[in-house]
Amino acid sequence: MTPQSPRKTNPASNSLLEELRSRAEGNSLPSEKQRLSEAQIRSSIDQLLWHIHGWLEEVARYLQTLRPPVTHEFNFSNLMTMRSLTLDQCFVSYRRQRFGEQELLDHVEFYYRLMCPSTPIVRVPATSANEVETRLRVVGLAFEANPEIDQWRSVRAVQFKINPEIKVTIRLEPDYVQHKIGVRLSNVDRFEALQMVFSPSQLDEEALEDLVRLILGESSAFLKRAPWVTNWRPTRPAFTPVAPVSRYIL
C-alpha cells in the first residue's frame, strides 16, 4: 500500500489563521503587565493633579491677599461692558473617586470672582427682556429686573440692575482611560465657557504660569497651548464616588 501523501498547507489558510489569531489576541483580556501599566499611568495623572491642586492653592492665597486688578473687559451683547475689575475670593476644591483599587481625583476646580467698581444697568424694550434675562442667567450674572410701566399700565421697557461681580471657574477633569486632562475655563476672559484638552505632559509649571497670566489679563498664551474642543467630556467608567472635600480660603 502506498503511504498517503501529507496534505499540503494552503498559504491562504495560514494567512486566515494568523488574522484570526491576531484578532482574538486583540480582544483578549489585558495581561497583568498591561493592567499594572495602566494603573501606573492613572497614578501618575492623579499625582500631577495633586501637584496642580497644591500649586493653585498657593496661588489662591496670594491672590486673595493682593486682590490684584484684572485688565480683561467683559462685553455683554453690546449692551454693557464690565471693566476696571479686581480679583477677589479665591479658593480651590477637589473631588475624589475610586477606580477599581485606586482612589483618584475626579476633578480640581479653581474658583474666584471679579468685582466691578460700579453697578451696571441695562435697559431694553419689553420685547427683548426675556432674551436678555436668559442670556444673563447663562453667563451667571445675578440681577434685579424692574419693569417700566406707562400710563396705560403696559410694560414699555425693563431695566436690569446687574450685581457687580463675575463668577469664574477653572475646572480640570482627567480622563484616566484616554490619558488626557480637560481644562474648562468659564468667564475667565469673556462671558463664555471654553474647553481645552491637554496631554498630562503639557500641564507643566510654565503652562500653569501662563494660566495665571491669563487670569490677570497679562497674556493669552495659555489659550494657544492646546486645542479647543467643543462638548468634551472625560471617559467615565464605573467609578465609586468618595465623599467630596472642598478647601476654602476666606
In a domain, 125, yes or no: no
Highest mean pLDDT among 11-15, 106-110, 147-151: 106-110
How far, CA to CA in Å, does 30 sit from each of 25, 133, 157, 190? 9, 53, 65, 45
Q: Which of 1-10, 78-87, 146-155, 193-202 has the lowest mean pLDDT?
A: 1-10
Q: Which of 1-5, 19-23, 59-63, 142-146 has the lowest mean pLDDT?
A: 1-5
Checking if the pLDDT of 246 tops 60, the result is no
Q: What is the pLDDT of residue 240?
A: 57
What average pLDDT does range 118-143 have in this prediction?
94
Q: What is the pLDDT of residue 8?
A: 53
The answer to whether the CB of 200 falls within 8 A of the CB of 45 is yes
In a domain, 208, yes or no: yes
Highest mean pLDDT among 2-16, 34-48, 201-215, 231-245: 201-215
In a domain, 224, yes or no: yes
Burial group, residue 118, by CB count within 10 angstroms (0-12, 13-18, 19+): exposed
Q: How confident is the model at residue 250 (pLDDT cuts 50, 70, 90)?
A: very low
The answer to whether the CB of 232 falls within 8 A of the CB of 180 is no
Checking if the pLDDT of 243 tops 70, the result is no
176-193 confidence digits (pLDDT tens): 999 999 999 999 999 999
In a domain, 59, yes or no: yes
The answer to whether the CB of 111 falls within 8 A of the CB of 168 is yes
How many Å apart are CA 70 and CA 36, to the nearest integer? 46
3-state SS string over 200-236?
HHHCCHHHHHHHHHHHHCCCCHHHHCCCECCCCCCCC
In a domain, 182, yes or no: yes
In a domain, 162, yes or no: no
Q: For residues 32 and 101, which has the higher predicted lDDT (pLDDT)?
A: 101
| Residues β-bridged to residue 167 | 113
Q: Domain range spanning residue 226?
A: 31-67+93-115+169-247
Report the number of distinct structural domains present in the chain: 1
The answer to whether the CB of 92 falls within 8 A of the CB of 111 is yes
How many Å apart are CA 24 and CA 244, to the nearest integer? 41
Residue % of the chain over a pLDDT of 70? 84
68-104 confidence digits (pLDDT tens): 999 999 999 889 999 999 999 999 999 998 887 889 9
Residues 6+ apart with CB under 8 A from 145: 129, 133, 158, 159, 160, 161
Q: What is the pLDDT of residue 28?
A: 53
206-218 confidence digits (pLDDT tens): 999 999 999 999 9
Q: How confident is the model at residue 36 (pLDDT cuts 50, 70, 90)?
A: low
Q: How confident is the model at residue 118 (pLDDT cuts 50, 70, 90)?
A: very high
In a domain, 213, yes or no: yes
How many Å apart are CA 124 and CA 247, to the nearest integer? 41
In a domain, 9, yes or no: no
